[in-house]
Amino acid sequence: MGKSLNLSPLVVVITLSLWGYLWGILGMVISVPITSIMLIVLAQFPSTRNISIYFLKMARLMIWLLRICP
């Protein structure tokens, strides 16, 4: 999932917890699409682009760590 959506597993777990707490099971089901949409929207505005870039870099770091630490 991290490779195709550019979301790190840590971000996915955090958003699962957050949306699950707010909306229950429905929030857990839609947590990844909501997070993906939020990152796309954040990347479109110059003032919030850094947040999107941060999550992208965190995803790449997590993928690299998973490759070297089986």
Q: Is the pLDDT of residue 62 over 70?
A: no
pLDDT tens digits for 18-48?
Answer: 889 999 999 999 988 988 888 888 888 888 8
Cα–Cα distances (Å) from 6 to 11, 22, 24, in that order, read 10, 24, 25
In the chain, the number of structural domains is 1
pLDDT on residue 18: 87
What is the Cα–Cα distance from 10 to 58, expressed in whole angstroms?
Answer: 9
Token pair 């699950």: residue: 20
**57: containing domain:** 2-68
Token pair 């971000």: residue: 11
Full-model pTM: 0.67
CB 7 within 8 A of CB 59: yes
